Amino acid sequence: MTNSTFRIRRPSLKDAQAVCDLVAACDTEDLGAPDIVLDDVLDMWSGFDLDHNVWVVEDTDLSLIGYAFLEEDSEEKLFSYGCVLPAARGRGVGASLVKSLEARASELRNTTGVPKRLQGMIPTLCEDAVRLFEAQGFAPVRYFKRMGIRLDTEPAAAILPEGFTIEPFMKGRDEQAVYEAYVESFADHWDFAVPPFEKWAEKTQLPTFEERWWLIARDPNGEVAGFALGRMREDLLFIEQVGVRRPFRGRGLALALLQCLFRASYHAGQMLVSLGVDAANPSGAYRLYEKAGMKSEYAISIYEKPFTLLSE
């Protein structure tokens, strides 16, 4: 897609650093600080269809001023994200990216014969993005909080129920058991779609994956009772998921897993730890993270638009 002042094209791996810089600039404007590093882009792109589901916007001087991607989360749910360089806002870049996302959603609906739900993630307080999405027929469906903690002193040691242990994940041994615990733990979460085992396990093959940041809680019989899956970045330890299987809830395992990750991060010299949480999660996750000492940093809104079958 072309415009008199910008051009939308497909990216290549050579664009990864420029995309990282662009998203960081948008994060700083909209959230107060950057929330991305180059490895994040490379990890995501390793699983993306760059030729069909990713777009960059090039200005007349060939610099990047916009970016968007679409991820096929399940047969009927599509997840997307996009951003526009603050200095380039108001020129129609965001609207063009949304049209590209919608066109791809329509194409996937027509190709598969399955209705789609296109979701988009935007900063809750970014009024321009809210107006754009609502003008295009998107509606808010969920709100998430980003929470963080700075470890100024050594965190307290975890207290585990008698007979339970916490240990690092081991590749080649724990994939299936942790996957099954993940599916069970998140089954009652909002909009959860069970990923194929092979796709879920891909993250353990990424160059940035380190076993020590994936912790497993085991019951006295050695079964996986819970887990905390983290990823160390240049700027912080990001905890991607914390889960406890239903039979083991209410025993303090989630808090113990968090405390173990906090201590490990502190001893590795990384004092910042962060995660995202569904603000309406019925399991009380938000309260758990507050109890662990984490504080809300900003809010994210999920907007959604349906793409029904043409005959409906």
Neighbouring CB atoms inside 10 A of 149's CB total: 22
Q: Averaged over 87-100, what is the pLDDT?
A: 97
Q: Over 70: is that where the pLDDT of 311 sits?
A: no
Band of pLDDT at residue 281, cut at 50, 70 and 90: confident
> In the chain, which residue ranges form alpha helices assigned H by DSSP?
16-31, 38-46, 93-112, 127-135, 175-186, 197-201, 253-267, 285-291
CATH top-level class for 6-144+301-307?
Answer: alpha beta
Neighbouring CB atoms inside 10 A of 158's CB total: 20
**Alpha carbon distances (Å) from 283 to 1, 214, 243:** 44, 21, 10
Q: Over 70: is that where the pLDDT of 282 sits?
A: no
Band of pLDDT at residue 271, cut at 50, 70 and 90: very high
- From the options 3.40.50.2300, 3.10.20.340, 3.40.50.150, 3.40.630.30, give the CATH code of 153-270: 3.40.630.30
- Predicted local distance difference test score (pLDDT) of residue 279: 83
Supply the pTM of this predicted model: 0.90
* CA 39 to chain CA centroid, nearest Å: 14
Q: Averaged over 274-285, what is the pLDDT?
A: 84
- Give the tokens for residue 68: 């968007």
Per-residue pLDDT reduced to its tens digit, 160-216: 999 999 999 999 999 999 999 999 999 989 999 899 999 999 999 999 999 999 999
Band of pLDDT at residue 1, cut at 50, 70 and 90: low
Q: Residues spanned by CATH 3.40.630.30 within the chain?
A: 6-144+301-307, 153-270
Percent of the chain scored above 70 by pLDDT?
97
Per-residue pLDDT reduced to its tens digit, 65-81: 999 999 999 999 999 99
Per-residue pLDDT reduced to its tens digit, 235-269: 999 999 999 999 999 999 999 999 999 999 999 99
E-assigned strands of the chain?
6-9, 54-59, 64-72, 77-84, 116-123, 139-150, 165-168, 214-218, 224-232, 237-244, 272-278, 295-307
**Alpha carbon distances (Å) from 217 to 18, 83, 283:** 40, 38, 18
Q: Averaged over 30-41, what is the pLDDT?
A: 93
Beta-bridged to residue 171, according to DSSP, are: none
Summary mean pLDDT of the chain: 95
- Predicted local distance difference test score (pLDDT) of residue 182: 98
- Predicted local distance difference test score (pLDDT) of residue 76: 94
* Burial status of residue 176 (CB atoms within 10 A of its CB: 0-12, 13-18, 19 or more): exposed
Per-residue pLDDT reduced to its tens digit, 144-165: 999 999 999 999 999 999 999 9
Neighbouring CB atoms inside 10 A of 194's CB total: 12
Q: Averaged over 4-22, what is the pLDDT?
A: 96
Dist CA 128 CA 135 (whole Å): 11
